[in-house]
Structure formats: structure tokens, C-alpha cells
């Protein structure tokens, strides 16, 4: 049996077609991701000695510094501010599928899946990545 056909992303979840509470669209999501990763790279460069031009043999653990900072930003800001800095700058927030606060464990699991990349680029009809589906969250416009 197939899932019911919907007219727009989020309809099956009871979300509006546009405006506050509607599913955040791909362009906005990707731009938020770029903002977060740029911020993480700047922080890693300034405070952790990350050098984007260093060879992998020379970089050691610092090779992963931007990704570690990116993960920390997600884990800290999603439960406290409702979204990462990139999300909030672009008018989005992460909430439970049924609405409300995501709690503390969901951002950790969501971020672990997000840094694996593949779960984030496989979407369903509601434009929710596997990382959101697994933890029962949705990225919406605020």
C-alpha cells in the first residue's frame, strides 16, 4: 500500500503550505547548512588551529575540527534556540513532528546522522531527511 499523495510538502504532517510552521524548502535548508559550516570553519581556524591548506598527514585531528565544531553548534543550539545559527538566521527552527521542543537526545542523534551526509540528502515526499525522520523532527519556517 502506498502513502497518500499530497499536494505540497508537509501536508501529510498537518503543516501549512507556506508561512510559519510550513516545511522549510531545500534552498533555505542548504543556505543554512552553508552558514553553519562556514561559521564552524571560522571558529575551528581561530581557536583550534585548523589550516585548510595543511596536508592530511600534517593536520592530524585538526582535519576534522570544522566538523566537530559544526556538530557542537547543532547539538547546543537546536535544543536551546530551536535551531542552529544558520537555521535561525534564515527563519527556520527544528521541532518535533507533532510540534514542540525537541528535547536533549534528539539533537545528538540527528547531528550524528547529519554528519554522515547520506541520511540528510535522502528525502521523503515531505522533504524530511532520514536524520529528521529517525528522531521524529521536522525543519520548519519560523
Q: What angle do CA 46, 77, 35 make, to 5 degrees?
A: 55
Query: What pLDDT shows up at residue 6?
Result: 83
Print pLDDT tens along the chain (142 aa): 555 678 999 999 999 999 999 999 999 999 999 999 999 999 999 999 999 998 888 888 999 999 999 999 999 999 999 999 999 999 999 999 998 899 999 999 999 999 998 888 899 999 999 999 999 999 999 9
The whole-number pLDDT of residue 80 equals 97
The pTM is what?
A: 0.91
Angle between helix 26-47 and helix 65-81 axes, rounded to 10 deg: 120
- 56 burial type by CB count under 10 A (0-12 exposed, 13-18 middle, 19+ buried): exposed
Amino acid at each position: 500500500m502506498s502513502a497518500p499523495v499530497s499536494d505540497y510538502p508537509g501536508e501529510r504532517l498537518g503543516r501549512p503550505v507556506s508561512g510559519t510552521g510550513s516545511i522549510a524548502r531545500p534552498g533555505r535548508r542548504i543556505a543554512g547548512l552553508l552558514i553553519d559550516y562556514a561559521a564552524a570553519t571560522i571558529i575551528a581556524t581561530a581557536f583550534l588551529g585548523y589550516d585548510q591548506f595543511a596536508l592530511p598527514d600534517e593536520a592530524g585531528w585538526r582535519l576534522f575540527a570544522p566538523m566537530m565544531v559544526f556538530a557542537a553548534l547543532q547539538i547546543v543550539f537546536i535544543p536551546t534556540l530551536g535551531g542552529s545559527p544558520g537555521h535561525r538566521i534564515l527563519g527556520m527552527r527544528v521541532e518535533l513532528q507533532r510540534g514542540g521542543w525537541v528535547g536533549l537526545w534528539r539533537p545528538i542523534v540527528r547531528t550524528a546522522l547529519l554528519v554522515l551526509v547520506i541520511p540528510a540528502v535522502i528525502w521523503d515526499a515531505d522533504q524530511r531527511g532520514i536524520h529528521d525522520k529517525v528522531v521524529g523532527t521536522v525543519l520548519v519556517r519560523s
